Amino acid sequence: MAAVPAVAMNGVKVGSTSQAYLESKAVKDTKSLISDLCRQFYNLGWVSGTGGSITIKAHDDSIPKPQQLIVMSPSGVQKERMVPEDMYVLSPDGSFLSEPAPKPYPHKAPKCSDCGPLFLKAYDMCNAGAVIHSHGMESCLVTMLNPSSKEFRITHMEMIKGIKGHGYYDELVVPIIENTAYEFELTESLAKAIEAYPKATAVLVRNHGIYVWGDSWINAKTQTIGIFMGAFGNQHDPQLDWLLSLSSL
């Protein structure tokens, strides 16, 4: 198999990957899937124009998840107009293997999602198959209710069954980290939150949104729904205090 030279995010060539895998149906299908999901999530209000992004590993049964190629949505492209050709393909260590072609005015030069370093961290620490970053208003609001809260907690809600390792009587705890001026600056606090909350499959970012990951894109999507439904339930009735116990650690 031919080797493809790869350029890491820091510009240094860092390894190679199989040309066949890069041109495989798995990669092609994953590009289409992300494009489809961007349009769907746009209609759900999970991503808004240029906000939010998605990454999914190009699955191949014969390749262990940590070695699978990563497909990532671009930065600054309107989600509802996303096409498969807009996607980036990265090697497992984050080197760019394939980039979209530039588009004419008024589109800016192609740029990979600003969430790149955070997506790689979730892949690395959680053995994830997919990560969703949403700016959905419900995810912002639960972080705003109490500006000093460090967690969103909810229990006794059917939809949390959709979240890995949780039953109806369990309490779902999602850590909240503080927002920063630039997305990449969130990487360290995201990593710390993942370490501190080993059962969590999501991290909320104050006044900003949420990162949710799962074994597969289906799992990541189902968990996002679970958390949003919980957040929605909280937002739409101020009397539901018994549901909401935001703790300030």
Q: Which residues are catalytic?
A: 158
Q: Which is nearer to its own copies, 8 or 39 (CB)?
A: 39
Q: Which is nearer to its own copies, 18 or 179 (CB)?
A: 179
Q: In sequence order, which residues have a C-beta less than 8 Å from that of residue 71 and are 6 or more positions away?
A: 27, 30, 31, 34, 55, 56, 57, 58, 87, 88, 89, 90
Mask 64-83, x = binds its own copies (CB under 8 A)?
A: --------------x-x---
Q: Which residue has the tokens 């339930």?
A: 233
Is residue 20 within a helix (H) or strand (E), and if so which, with residue range?
A: helix 19-22
Number of helices (H), then strands (E), belonging to the chain: the values are: 6, 11
Would you count residue 99 as binding its own copies (CB under 8 A)? no
Judge contact between 79 and 172, C-beta under 8 A.
no
Would you count residue 63 as binding its own copies (CB under 8 A)? no
Judge contact between 136 and 45, C-beta under 8 A.
yes
Smallest separation (angstroms) from its own copies to the CB of 13: 32
Q: Which is nearer to its own copies, 6 or 37 (CB)?
A: 37
Smallest separation (angstroms) from its own copies to the CB of 174: 17
Alpha helices in 62-213, H assignment, sequence order: 116-126, 137-144, 187-196
Would you count residue 122 as binding its own copies (CB under 8 A)? no
**Separation CA 244–CA 230 (nearest Å):** 9
Would you count residue 246 as binding its own copies (CB under 8 A)? no
Smallest separation (angstroms) from its own copies to the CB of 3: 27
Q: Segment near its own copies (CB under 8 A), from 2-10, 65-73, 85-93, 237-245?
A: 237-245
Instruction: Name the 3-class secondary structure at 151.
Output: strand
Of 107, 188, 196, 247, the one binding its own copies (CB under 8 A) is: 107
Q: Which is nearer to its own copies, 10 or 62 (CB)?
A: 62
Instruction: Kindly report the number of other CB atoms within 10 A of residue 178's CB atom.
Output: 13
Q: In sequence order, which residues have a C-beta less than 8 Å from that of residue 209 and are 6 or more positions away?
A: 51, 52, 133, 134, 135, 136, 139, 140
Instruction: Kindly report the number of other CB atoms within 10 A of residue 77's CB atom.
Output: 24
Of 129, 134, 152, 227, the one binding its own copies (CB under 8 A) is: 129
Would you count residue 33 as binding its own copies (CB under 8 A)? no
Point out which residues bind its own copies (CB under 8 A): 40, 48-51, 59, 61, 78, 80, 105-107, 129, 135, 137, 140-141, 144-145, 147, 156-159, 162, 167-169, 179-181, 205, 207-209, 215-219, 221-222, 225, 229, 232-233, 235-237, 239-240, 242-243
